[in-house]
Amino acid sequence: MPSTRDATEVTATSFAPGHLTGIFAPRLGARDPRARGSVGAGLVLDLGVHATASWRAGARDQVRVRTEPSFRAPISTEVARRLKGDRKGTLRVELRHELPVGQGFGMSAAGALATGLAVARTLGEPKSRAVATAHLADLFGGGGLGGVAAILGGGLELRRSPGIPPWGEIRRRRFPYRVFVSAAGRPLASPALLRDPDFLARVEAAANDGLARLGSHPTALEFLATSEEFTHNLRLASPTLRRTIVALRRTGASVSQAMLGRSWFAVATDPASRRRLILALQRAGAAAVEVGVRPPTA
């Protein structure tokens, strides 16, 4: 619920979770952009983006978005501007990102959704408008292809058809393992890649078999195996990232590239492989974070 600091300023907070994509394929043909995005599967994380929005009506007209850590946030800024619309006043948004930006951890979608939810609460706008605005800003801003839809509920999510509700269909299952994540290089230029027809065709070809095998109700182990295969088939990883993935797989953990980032995620499905994975990370001096997967909520 929004709170009022004084007679004119209204504040609200929100949280949107991060997300890991293990496999995806673009679906951009729908006339209505709310029905565009991707099909695929991923994990909704406990860490994400916290937003605080404050709105003060008045003659001064301003939208300001600040981030921690500090960086330009054009997609979140676009969300704030569109929700504010023609209202006269000052809208400020503070965002705190808990995972690296631009590394396949869903921070663009989470920032857009957290911004949308917090701003909508200060302005009295419905949640559905916040969700649609965040989805469109992320889609047209080059942030991702369906990240907002994916994080509207938790768990292991399977995007059966693209877009936000009620256009998209997403099925969710409990994921019983924790996940290690780490960046392994500079961020990829996701907006440029997602506008490249040749790259999108490569993604489609790499995803075909895996999406068919996942079916309607994939298990955790099926998702992990499919993600490893997609990483191999897409061949997007740099030589350094490939070497890291191969080395960590020797521990018995499942390790894949987080899409789209120069980053990896690893899941150890038994105590022995988890111990070996932690030891390998310590020996390599790798700065990894262990994070939980949010339980399914929808």
Widest distance between CA atoms in the chain: 63
Tell the burial category of 269 from Cβ atoms under 10 Å away from its Cβ (0-12, 13-18, 19+). Answer: middle
195: which 2 tokens?
Answer: 């506008």
For residue 141, pLDDT beyond 60? yes
Q: Which amino acid is at 245?
A: I
What's the predicted TM-score (pTM) here? 0.94
Label residue 268 by pLDDT band (50, 70, 90).
very high
For the stretch 203-216, pLDDT in tens is 999 998 899 888 87
| Count of Cβ atoms closer than 10 Å to residue 37 Cβ | 29
CATH 1.10.287.1770 describes domain 174-291? no
43: which 2 tokens?
Answer: 């994990």
For the stretch 83-130, pLDDT in tens is 999 999 999 999 999 999 989 999 999 999 999 999 999 999 999 999
Question: How much is the mean pLDDT over the chain?
Answer: 93
What per-residue confidence (pLDDT) applies to 3? Answer: 61
Domain ranges of the chain: 3-170, 174-291
Cβ contact 127:118 at 8 Å = no
Cβ contact 207:193 at 8 Å = no
For residue 155, pLDDT beyond 70? yes
| Helix orientation angle between 239-249 and 271-284, rounded to the nearest 10 degrees | 140
| Distance separating alpha carbons of residues 99 and 182, to the nearest angstrom | 9
Label residue 142 by pLDDT band (50, 70, 90).
confident
| Distance separating alpha carbons of residues 72 and 112, to the nearest angstrom | 13
For the stretch 215-224, pLDDT in tens is 878 899 999 9
- 188: number of CA atoms within 13 Å, CB side? 25
Top CATH class, 3-170? alpha beta
What per-residue confidence (pLDDT) applies to 137? Answer: 96
What is the signed CA dihedral for 11, 73, 148, 117, rounded to 10 degrees?
10
For the stretch 11-47, pLDDT in tens is 999 999 999 999 999 999 999 999 999 999 999 999 9
What per-residue confidence (pLDDT) applies to 205? Answer: 93
What per-residue confidence (pLDDT) applies to 298? Answer: 59
